[in-house]
Amino acid sequence: MKIQELVLRHDLETNYDPRNILVKHGWKVIGSGLGGAVAQHPNRPYVIKLYRNSSRYSQFVEFVQNHQPNPYLPRFNRYVRNLPGDGRM
């Protein structure tokens, strides 16, 4: 696990393209936009979103957390996690 974290951090430092990073680590990109991408792993029953800390997506996730009963908002199993050792993401 530590090796993957080191490789991912190197990928982020050299050239931030979330689609390429996700594909390189075995994920299938199912959507992308300005500064972020969503991918699904072929052997895991969930998707992840990789995006920059400067994105306002974290505020959207916080809004969803604060409005759980709303049937029109998505459901998240887990919430925002920063990448280990990287204050920029």
Domain boundaries along the sequence of the chain: 2-51
Whether residue 6 has pLDDT greater than 80? no
pLDDT tens for each residue of 71-82: 999 888 776 777
pLDDT tens for each residue of 15-67: 667 888 888 888 899 998 877 889 998 888 888 888 877 788 888 888 998 99
φ and ψ at residue 28, rounded to 5 degrees: -100, 115
φ and ψ at residue 81, rounded to 5 degrees: -135, 130
pLDDT given at position 51: 82
Q: What is the topology classification, in CATH, of domain 2-51?
A: Metal Transport, Frataxin; Chain A (3.30.920)
- Higher-confidence residue of 70 and 48: namely 70
φ and ψ at residue 23, rounded to 5 degrees: -60, -45
Cα(76)–Cα(48) distance, integer angstroms: 10
- Higher-confidence residue of 23 and 2: namely 23
